[in-house]
Amino acid sequence: MQPAPPRMQPAVFGGLFIGVLSALPLINLANCCCLWVIGGGVLAAYLMQQNYPYAISAADGALVGLLAGAMGGILGTLLSIPIDLMMGPVQQRLIERVILSNPDVPDETRVLFENMAARGLSAVVIAFRLVLGVVIGAIFGLLGGLLGVALFKSNEPPPPPPPGTVEILPPVQP
């Protein structure tokens, strides 16, 4: 029986990849189809395969991807709080300029944007972002881990047992 591959270090690095790229302004806009989350799951599976002499299973890849996605959701939320506090006034002025410069914006949309800009960062928004980030991160991180297993699965045979160990073979059936 093979020992279980180490999971925490690859999951932490995959989670850092997800969290940092998801929290950065403008870069997080390129996260179409949860690209950063899937990439973090692939990265975690790749790192796990590189640190393990045997081929990792699909279950191991899925688990490390899930862990990386959940950690990425938590880290992305935590990192986005100070960034949102710094960028909030800039975003508010930008929204006001867009709304004021365009007379064709309906009144309902104008009121919605003004309320969003005035509300700022609240505990409800942070909690919603955290739950959504962890759930979506876990799902798409799991998919990325499975993709990473398919891409980086080791085809090398396992290393021979160390000298001095006795290998018990099952009886041969005629």
Instruction: Give 11-63 pLDDT, tens digit per residue.
Output: 999 999 999 999 988 788 777 788 999 999 999 999 999 988 888 999 999 99
Cα distance between residue 103 and residue 110, in whole Å: 10
- Percentage of residues in the chain with pLDDT exceeding 70? 87
Count Cα atoms within 13 angstroms, Cβ side, for 89. 1
- Residue 111: its H or E element: helix 107-119
Taking alpha carbons only, the member of 8, 21, 6, 47 closest to residue 133 is: 21
pLDDT: which is higher, 95 or 35 = 35
pLDDT of res. 49:
93
Nearest partner of 54 among 174, 155, 167, judged by Cα: 155
Structure confidence at residue 154 as a pLDDT band (50, 70, 90):
confident
Q: Is the per-residue pLDDT at 134 higher than 80?
A: yes
**pLDDT, position 52:** 87
Question: Given this model, what pLDDT does residue 109 score?
Answer: 79
Q: Tell me, what DSSP letter sits at residue 18? A: H
- Of 35, 32, 33, 40, give the one whose Cα is nearest residue 67: 40
pLDDT above 70: residue 119: no
Q: Is pLDDT of 143 > 90?
A: yes
How far, in whole angstroms, is CA 69 from its chain's centroid? 3
The model's pTM is 0.77
Give the mean model confidence (pLDDT) for residues 86-102: 77
- As a whole number of angstroms, the distance between CA 127 and CA 83 comes to 16
Q: Pull the structure tokens for residue 25.
A: 């302004």
Higher-pLDDT residue of 173, 159: 173
Distance separating alpha carbons of residues 167 and 172, to the nearest angstrom: 15
Residue whose pair of structure tokens reads 């690209």 in the numeric block: 35
Cα–Cα distance, 76 to 133 (Å, whole number): 8
